[in-house]
Structure 1
Amino acid sequence: MTYQPAIMSASLGRAWLHDLDYKLDQAAKAGFKGIEIFYEDLDYAARKISGNDAPTSEHILQASENVSSACKSRGLEIISLQPFLFYEGLKDRDQHEILIEKMKLWLKIAKIFNTNTIQVPGNFLPAEQLTGDLDVIAADLREIADMGAAVDPPVRYAYENLCWSTHVDTWEKVWDVVKRVDRPNFGMCLDTFNIAGRVWADPASPTGKTPNADAELKASMERLVREVDVSKVFFIQVVDAERMESPLVEGHPFHVDGQPARMSWSRNARTFMYEADRGAYMPVEDVAKAVIHGLGYKGPVSMELFSRTMAEEGQHVPDEHATRGMASWKKLEQRLNLN
């Protein structure tokens, strides 16, 4: 498998402001070969079909057919459907069962999309709603892995640490869970932002960094290369973020009461790799090198972005994000000799 640049649909603009077909046009025009479909875009497309804010499963599946056709006509492979949120480790087992029913719908969507991957981010609900018991977390994830293995064609799950996840906030913890789940169709999504954003960066710090940041990241990447089975890395995401001009604490424009600083930072201030002019500052290339050269990963490379810039109005938003994302990919391709 060769490297394939992909971009997440949400990375080109927000669903309620920017038409998905237009975003797909811009992704294809920029030269992307694949796309991650963000469920928010699909839900919004279903609302347009239903004419209300409560689309049925039938509306969702109809929208999925439309999105699948739109991607095919533009030569875009759907590399994953994401994010299946707030699932594992719930204390509320009734809600767990509701999400199991939702997964049945997601598996139908995946078949329509002809994608074999659903991405599951580490749960970031408040700690009082979750168990930190990794055996329970693994059992929950094993349940959906078995559901995915039972459909035709089978579906894989890519589990991802978010740097603000309540319990699974590092790649090391994700890898631990993957081994506990112990299913061939359950693996990892490795994200340069979420890895470096946890071990190296701290938006609430005046320095923008954690204590001993460089040494800790170096040691973490050495462990990753030494311990992770590359066959369990289902896809990767490469992105950076802005260094905050002032610590992201109470009084900062991005601060939200009760929300982790890293989450607020992620939602507002990610950048594509190499965008120093936009404040990008993390050593995310080191993470990408560890995964691509150190582990020997070959496969989809997604330019996933969240930023306040996506909430601007106008067609220039998808245009500019697609162009910026491809420029980032081209530089990564050159610097890591991926062509």
Structure 2
Amino acid sequence: MRRSIATVCISGTLEEKLESIARARFDAVEIFENDLIYSRLSPREIRQRCADLGLGIDLYQPFRDMDGVDEARFKRNLDRAERKFDLMVELGAPMLLVCSNVQPGMICDDALLAAQMHAMAEKAAERGLRIAYEALAWGHHVNRYEHAWEIVRKADHPHLGLCLDSFHILSRGDDPAGIEQIPAEKLFFLQLADAPRMVMDVLQWSRHYRCFPGQGTFDLVGFMEHVLKAGYAGPLSLEVFNDIFRAAPNRRTTLDAFESLLFLEEQIRRRLESRIPTDPAARPLTERIELFNPPAPPEVRGVSFIEFAVDDASGKALGKALQALGFDHTGTHRTKSVQLFQQGDVRLMVNNEPGSFASDYFQRRGPSICALGLATDDGQRAVNRGVAFHVPSYAGRIGPNEALIPALRAVDDSIIYFVSQALEDKGFLATDFVMKDAKPAASRAGIERVDHIAQGYPFEQFDTGVLFNRVVLGLKPQESMELADPNGLVRSCAMVNADQSLRIALNVSHSRSTVSGRSTEALQGGGVHHIALSSSDIFASAEYLAKSGVGLLDVPDNYYDDLPARFDIDEALLKRMRRLGVLYDRNDEGAFFHFYTQMFVDRFFFEIVQRSDAYAGFGASNAPVRMSAQAVRAAG
């Protein structure tokens, strides 16, 4: 299908927007009126610029408050419309978007509205143009697509049809199933936007919080299924109003936009294919419509390894810290300056190889986590999927007989390796590392596996991170939440796979002075700021680490004084938690114990956790306690 985007979605001048849109491989654009007005190029020059970039112009928008006005005002509106039609002929835009009237003083008479839209369409037809009528969700009289269709039906003009906008329909909770009853030839244009669920005025919601498909909570796949069943075969066009997107560099935003459309197409195709056994009408749709068909998402089975970028001094300090955490130094890389530490199923690599990716990463970000290795069924398929979505692959220097692990570059420029089961079965660690003879001690600190990874993002890249993890890794977003920080708010969204073997908590701070924000800012683009390791006995782990000299985060007494008011908790257990700095959370599914180490060179820290029963959260209610304690220590 033809992929389009409205110029209002991204930042920059019109010329900059068009270049960015073309680089992202869109087929066409909607020209937003203000972008044209502010441009130094004439409409004819804009038309030529688009042609040079290989972009079509599908729509010019918007034309407001045309319908439901008195005769004198309507004549003025027609004069105004004819000026726009002349401009569109110069621009090469074949269609004008007309929004339903939002003025409280409009005349609410459907017959009048239909007559006026017919007259406007007649003028458009004289120039070979078409009118797409759209029901704004906050329209004074026409604010639902069914009502807009009634106006178009009564107007009965071949140059007048509907523009369907997913936000205007889904934000009001309207059932899109009725779209299937609208004749395909009257569905002129389709605009797509996702959005997080919010309780607020729909106009403000629309103007500031729309996002690209896959970044919000709307059922766009179900919406599109109805649109395609109606016979629509026009462009899929994105129209997103978002303050962050319009302030961020447009290159990243347009890449996200294109990726989101590809992802939506894939989901639609999979939905239609799943319908075929019970819905024979689905097969002709899959044959009629060419939808994106990338390799399937990887079957991620957890974390295989985590890699740190260090220099000599920080590498020695980190190695010492890991051994205090109960990790054994189990191997040295055969050709690179990389050390392997293990405990239970947790593998940590400390990379100090000169001239390597890790060395470059260290130069830009200091001691930090530069790569994740994910266990998966087929590593090459995972990379092929990423490349299909225009995510860059990565290939580092490989020594003789060393394992080649397929990899992608993540949003924060770190590396994600995909360790297939075949590589694991071949023993890729023993291939790449000279392993020590002695077997590693069996979880000396009680640490068994990686429970979750917490990753910070710059404010403008949070939605990019959600999209990447959803599209490339096949993770599903949980409900977003905002957490109180001593200096502001932290927004958090957990991404998980089906069996919870991979959990990634995405965080962004609204304040640059927050502890998480400081760490994120220091990383100049985000990065993993802490690793949570699961323990079979949280108290034994805390005792072990305390005796090993690991600095644990101090938790204020007030926290423990308040716990009995929140939970029915045993006094002896509470006393033990207080002594060791263990935090607690509980819900209907189970309980969660956890504690934190102090930060390592102000970049990252470790969390030790123990889950009981089916608890699937992250102890979010305790995050403000942790951030406050870290802020106190940082100030200290």
Distance 1:228 1:106, change over 3 A: same
In structure 2, the residue matched to 1:77 is: 56
Q: How far 1:282 sits from its partner (Å)?
A: 1.7
Check whether the contact 2:10–2:246 (CA below 8 A) recurs between aligned residues.
Answer: no
Query: Does structure 1 conserve the Cα–Cα contact (< 8 Å) formed by 2:20 and 2:250?
Result: yes
Q: Which residue in 1 is equivalent to 2:202?
A: 262
Query: 1 CA distance for matches of 2:18 and 2:73?
Result: 34
Aligned partner (choices 6, 9, 16) of residue 8 of structure 1: 6
* 8 Å Cα contact 1:193-1:284 kept in structure 2: no
State how 1:307-318 maps to structure 2 within 5 Å. 307-312=242-247, 316-318=248-250
Whole-angstrom CA distance in 2 between matches of 1:107 and 1:243: 38
Q: What is the distance in 1 between the residues matched to 2:107 and 2:53?
A: 43
Q: Tell me by how many angstroms 1:107 deviates.
A: 1.0
Structure having the higher strand fraction is 2
Rounded to whole Å, the distance in 2 between the matches of 1:109 and 1:172 is 31
Name the structure 1 match of 2:117: 141
> 1:106 corresponds to which residue?
84
The alignment status of 1:65 with 2:44, answered yes or no, reads: yes
Query: In the alignment, which residue of structure 1 is the partner of 2:136?
Result: 162
Shift of 1:311: 4.1
Q: Deviations over 1:104-141 (max 9, x none)?
A: 1111122122222111111112x2x2011011111111
Partner of 2:207, secondary structure, is: helix
Choose from 266, 277, 282 the match for 1:334: 266
Query: How many residues matched?
Result: 271
Secondary structure class of the residue paired with 2:244:
helix
Q: Bigger shift: 316-325 or 155-164?
A: 316-325
SS of aligned partner of 1:88 = coil
Give the structure 1 partner of residue 217 of structure 2.
281
Within 2, Cα distance between the matches of 1:196 and 1:9? 22
The 3 A distance-change label for structure 1 pair 311 and 143 is same
d(CA) in 2 for partners of 1:223 and 1:80? 25
Give the match for residue 241 of structure 1.
195
Report deviation, 1:74: 0.5
Letter of the structure 2 residue corresponding to residue 22 of structure 1: E
Structure 1 residue 162: Cα displacement: 1.2
The amino acid across from 2:162 in the alignment is M
Q: 2:230 aligns with which of 286, 295, 299?
A: 295
After TM superposition, give the deviation of residue 95 of structure 1 in Å: 3.1
Q: Deviations over 1:47-99 (max 9, x none)?
A: x5xxxxxxxxxxxxx621121111111011000101011111124x4332222
Secondary structure in 2 matching 1:22: helix
Q: Conserved in 2, the CA contact under 8 Å of 1:228 and 1:295?
A: yes
Greater Rg over alpha carbons, structure: 2
More helix by share: 1
> Which amino acid in 2 is paired with 1:297?
Y
| In structure 1, distance between residues paired with 2:232 and 2:27 | 18
Instruction: Flag the 1:95–1:149 CA change in 2: closer, same or farther, 3 A.
Output: same
Tell me the alpha carbon deviations over residues 133-192 of structure 1, each in whole angstroms, 9 at most, x when there is no partner: 0111111111110001112xx111000111111111111001100101100110001111
Residue 234 of structure 1, CA deviation: 0.8
* Paired AA for residue 167 in structure 2: F
TM-score in terms of structure 2 length = 0.42
**CA–CA separation in structure 2 for the residues paired with 1:130 and 1:177:** 15
Kindly state the Cα deviation for residue 243 of structure 1 after the two structures are TM-superposed. 2.2
CA contact (8 A) 1:309 1:317 kept: no
SS, match of residue 37 in structure 1: strand
Measured against aligned partners, the alpha-carbon deviations of 1:220-270 in whole angstroms (never above 9, x if no partner) come to 333221x200110111111111223xx32xxxxxxxxxxxx1111100100
Partner letter of residue 171 of structure 1? Y
DSSP 3-state at the match of 2:154:
helix
2:221 maps to a residue whose letter is E
Asked whether the equivalents of residues 37 and 80 of structure 1 are also in contact (C-alpha less than 8 Å), the reply is: yes
Using the alignment, how far apart are the partners of 1:101 and 1:143 within structure 2?
A: 12
Q: Is the 8 A contact 2:221 2:267 kept in 1?
A: no
Structure 2 distance, partners of 1:311, 1:223, is 33
Return 283-292 or 173-182, whichever deviates more: 283-292
Give 1:307 deviation, angstroms: 1.0
**Larger RCO, structures 1/2 (Cα 8 Å, 6+ apart):** 1
Q: 1:43 deviation in Å?
A: 1.1
Equivalent-residue separation in structure 1 for 2:245 and 2:207 (angstroms):
10
* Structure 2 counterparts to residues 100-249 of structure 1, below 5 A: 100-125=78-103, 127=104, 129-151=105-127, 154-198=128-172, 200=173, 217=174, 220-225=175-180, 227-244=181-198, 247-248=199-200
Which residue matches 2:581?
none
Q: CA RMSD in A?
A: 1.5
Structure-2 separation of matches of 1:309 and 1:268: 8
Q: Is the 8 A contact 1:64 1:112 kept in 2?
A: yes
Q: How many percent identity over aligned positions?
A: 27
User: Tell me, what secondary structure is at the counterpart of 1:24?
Assistant: helix
1:29 to 15, 18, 23: 23
Distance 1:237 1:288 in 2: 11
Amino acid at match of 2:241: F
